[in-house]
A = this chain, B = another copy of it.
């Protein structure tokens, strides 16, 4: 029986898991992503979070058969460049090598993949995507990312596919965090929604309890949990902004479906997981008026692996990587 490590490196948190051959989670840990320092500091925190998960699994990190990492940014052979939302990570950093050193696991396979794509792979192999050959995984969180499985295989294009968050749903529309206008993420990303809420509240005097809730819960951002709570309390501004986000996701995802005719859409990410089934249903309804083949809409479901999906997906990289090495030798 072998065990594998998986690390999901997010802009807000680092999630780690230890899994066995059958993908059962033996242990897990979560730490906040450092907001200051640089890539080396982030790598140390990732190593610490993996140790913690191994401890929970009652295993030594050195006993693992390999470690997989899901990371933002551009990834090439264990090196990560221009990782958005991570501190001081504009350049290229040898993440796999840094983890190898920090964990003292020289020679162990450490594989780095795209965070959104590994989470999509995990849903495809182990989660809500299992019944389908073709799916779009949409991760609704700080930003809006997506991964594609076409005919049972990940589709990454020239390495940059899956930017559903930057599909245009309004020419000259709202300013996006990417600097462009009218992208899905400009309406539906948690970061853009927070900026919009702050403007409407502070500059235009719209009433809301969002920022009070944030302070009461000792948060520095409007987390998915804060949004969920405000919606439950029927906060008018929060409801308005979330409705707008659902409309944007509906139009963007429907456009993707019109182009690719996928069987299924899996909704994950911080907000997707937190808001759950009722919102997957709402997104499905918001897609409906824009679907060209509206007599056979794709199934829309919440990511079954929840918050652990990214880390479990990262651990899957080891199997694939080991298999690839074996086949090549």
What is A's interface to B at a CB cutoff of 8 Å? 134, 146, 148, 150, 155-164, 166-171, 178, 180-183, 247-248, 251-252, 254-256, 258-263, 289-290, 292-293, 296
Contacts and interface: CB of A to CB of B under 8 A. Distances in A.
Given A168-B255, A171-B251, A255-B168, A163 B263 contact: no
Given A155-B150, A260-B161, A167 B255 contact: yes
Contacts of A155: 150, 260
B290 A158 contact: no
B260 A178 contact: no
A186 to B, nearest CB: 12
B259 A162 contact: yes
Contact of A158 (B146, B156, B256, B296): B296
B259 A161 contact: yes
Nearest to A262: B157
Contacts of A159: 261
A208 to B, nearest CB: 24
A261 B293 contact: no
B251 A163 contact: no
Residue of A169, A254, A256 ringed by the most chain B CB atoms within 10 A: A169
A128 B164 CA distance: 27
**How many copies of this chain are found per oligomer?**
2
Given A156-B261, A157-B260, A157-B261, A163 B292 contact: yes
Query: What are the 8 tightest A-B residue pairs by CB atom distance, in nearest-first order?
Result: A157-B261, A167-B255, A163-B258, A161-B261, A166-B292, A168-B251, A160-B261, A160-B293
A94 to B, nearest CB: 23
Nearest to A248: B171
Given A159-B261, A163-B259, A261-B159, A289 B180 contact: yes
5 contacts: A148-B260, A159-B261, A160-B261, A163-B259, A171-B251
Nearest to A298: B158
Contacts of A146: 259
Contacts of A263: 158
Nearest to A255: B167
Contact of A259 (B167, B178, B182): B167
Given A161-B261, A167-B258, A168-B251, 20 more contacts: A134-B157, A146-B259, A155-B260, A156-B261, A157-B261, A158-B261, A158-B296, A160-B261, A163-B259, A164-B258, A166-B255, A166-B292, A167-B167, A167-B259, A170-B171, A171-B248, A180-B290, A180-B292, A182-B251, A260-B260
A7 B204 CA distance: 61
Contacts of A183: 290
Given A247-B171, A254-B168, A259 B261 contact: no
Contacts of A296: 158
Contacts of A167: 167, 255, 258-259
